[in-house]
């Protein structure tokens, strides 16, 4: 039985339950004071126990997901789900329609093809699926342009069987990490202006537009106070990372990659067993907690090389806590969190929606001798 941090096999992810709960409370308190509400992004952690705590913390209208498999995991404990992504590809819309039989489902659309796919699946299942028109508010990823193009797609959605037009969404991802608060606020307001103005045009066309969904951890307190925005999709706030840690947001680091020192080949260098198979480095190298003067200089597949003062007492077998640079893809590499109160392990929480479970489902499907899938 693992009941202390020293007993955890490494590399592993650990989280500070008290810090996690404080982050949840700070965000819930912010949204309790205004008209806008929170729809936390499940993709940030993919962990049911964390999501349950977020929902129980208050001020939430439901959860945001990035994938159908995340929504399938979240539907076990949440009845209002938004997939803030375009569900295109084999079986995705059919699985969403199946979920819509038991929970309220909303998906993003930015094309007639996407609208047609979700409509066909919903009609076949005898359900209705909500849609939000996804707008490109500056990130230049998915989304139609604000204004006439968005209104045209909204009109099509309103007349398409099997779907229900619920509103619009737009993610200001191109500005959420800007370090300068003044610039971040100005550019966020610029991005959200297109979303709010398009919602007004949709309503002026006589169409339903109840939801205006936006926001991230770096802009929650900007977008979340703009008149008309109804919900914010922030996710990283609950655990944090070095990228968001640079900003002026009131959330604390709550998770780390835990490693073991496996080598100290010279006085100024040690090596841990937690490389980039256990944390990503797309937003930079991790930082070190608790070892004064220590700095990660490289991540290889299985190794983190760390410079340390030559007089450091770090020894082979010691534990090291590394703060990842990017929450979401790091967590996707692990199966569980070890939940800590101090150094005591108080829970092992499955990261139930990690990876792409649909592939595992397909692999486990029984096959007949003729090679066709068997019916369950």
| Segment 320-368, tens digit of pLDDT | 999 999 999 999 999 999 999 999 999 999 999 998 766 555 543 433 3
Pairing of strands 104-109, 129-134: parallel
pLDDT at 255: 98
CA nearest to 27, candidates 246, 216, 243, 187:
216
Alpha carbon distances (Å) from 241 to 2, 166, 232, 329 = 26, 33, 19, 11
Amino acid 355: pLDDT: 80
Q: Would the pLDDT of 260 be above 80?
A: yes
State the Cα–Cα distance between residues 97 and 117, nearest whole angstrom: 11
Place 212 in a pLDDT band, splitting at 50, 70 and 90.
very high
Q: How many residues are recorded in the chain?
A: 376
pLDDT at 36: 98
Report whether pLDDT(374) > 70.
no
Nearest to 249 by CA among 235, 260, 261: 235
Structure tokens at 343: 């150094």
Residue 40, both tokens: 């936390």
Give the closest residue to 83 by CA, choosing from 352, 58, 274, 97: 97
Distance, CA of 118 to CA of 29 (rounded, Å): 36
Q: Do domains 18-238 and 255-350 have the same CATH topology?
A: no
Residue bearing tokens 């029984």:
366
Residue 273 has pLDDT above 90, yes or no: yes
In CATH terms, 255-350 corresponds, of 2.40.37.20, 3.40.50.1980, 1.10.150.310, 3.40.50.1820, to 2.40.37.20
Indicate whether 25 pLDDT > 80: yes
CA distances from 124 to 85, 104, 114, 161, 163 (A): 22, 17, 16, 11, 12
Tens of pLDDT along 78-117? Answer: 999 999 999 999 999 999 999 999 999 999 999 999 999 9
Query: Which residue has tokens 């990283």?
Result: 236
pLDDT value at residue 358: 62
Residues 275-332: pLDDT tens digits? 999 999 999 999 999 999 999 999 999 999 999 999 999 999 999 999 999 999 999 9
For residue 223, give the DSSP letter.
H
Q: Residue ranges of the domains in the chain?
A: 18-238, 255-350
Using one digit for the tens of pLDDT, what is the confidence trace for 130-154? Answer: 999 999 999 999 999 999 999 999 9
Note the pLDDT tens digit of each residue in 152-209: 999 999 999 999 999 999 999 999 999 999 999 999 999 999 999 999 999 999 999 9
At residue 1, the pLDDT reads 84
Contact present, 326 and 246 (Cβ < 8 Å): no
* 18-238, CATH topology level: TIM Barrel (3.20.20)
- pLDDT value, residue 372: 39
Phi, psi of 265 (to 5 degrees): -70, -20
**Rounded CA gap, 224 and 36, in Å?**
6
CB atoms under 10 Å from CB of 69, counted, come to 22
- Please give the pLDDT value at position 364: 38
Q: Which residues is 83 bridged to in the sheet?
A: 65, 107
């Amino acid at each position: 039985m693992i009941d202390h941090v020293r007993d955890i096999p490494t590399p592993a992810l650990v989280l500070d339950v008290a810090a996690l709960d404080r982050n949840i409370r700070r965000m819930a308190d912010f949204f309790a004071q205004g008209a806008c509400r929170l729809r936390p992004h499940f993709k940030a952690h993919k962990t049911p126990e964390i999501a349950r705590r977020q929902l129980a913390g208050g001020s939430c209208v439901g959860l945001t997901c990035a994938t159908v498999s995340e929504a399938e995991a979240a539907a076990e404990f949440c009845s209002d789900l938004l997939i803030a992504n375009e569900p295109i590809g084999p079986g995705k819309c059919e699985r969403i329609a199946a979920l819509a039989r038991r929970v309220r489902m909303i998906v993003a659309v930015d094309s007639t093809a996407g609208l047609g796919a979700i409509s066909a699946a919903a009609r076949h299942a005898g359900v209705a699926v909500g849609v939000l028109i996804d707008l490109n508010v500056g990130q230049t990823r998915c989304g139609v342009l604000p204004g006439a193009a968005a209104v045209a797609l909204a009109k099509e959605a309103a007349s398409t069987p099997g779907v229900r037009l619920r509103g619009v969404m737009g993610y200001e991802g191109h500005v959420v990490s800007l370090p300068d608060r003044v610039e971040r606020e100005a550019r966020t307001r610029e991005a959200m202006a297109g979303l709010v103005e398009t919602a007004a045009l949709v309503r002026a066309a006589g169409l339903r537009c109840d939801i205006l969904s936006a926001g991230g951890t770096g802009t929650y307190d900007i977008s979340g106070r703009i008149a008309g925005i109804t919900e914010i999709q922030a996710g990283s706030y609950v655990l944090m990372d070095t990228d968001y840690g640079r900003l002026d947001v009131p959330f604390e680091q709550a998770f780390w990659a835990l490693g073991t020192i496996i080598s100290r080949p010279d006085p100024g260098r040690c090596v841990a067993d937690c490389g980039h198979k256990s944390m990503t480095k797309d937003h930079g190298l991790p930082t070190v907690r608790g070892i004064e003067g220590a700095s990660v200089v490289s991540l290889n597949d299985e190794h983190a090389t760390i410079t340390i003062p030559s007089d450091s007492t770090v020894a082979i077998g010691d534990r090291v806590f590394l703060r990842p640079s990017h929450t979401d893809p790091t967590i996707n590499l692990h199966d569980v969190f070890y939940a800590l109160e101090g150094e005591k392990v108080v829970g092992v929480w499955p990261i139930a929606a990690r990876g792409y479970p649909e592939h595992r489902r397909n692999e486990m499907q029984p096959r007949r001798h003729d090679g066709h899938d068997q019916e369950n």
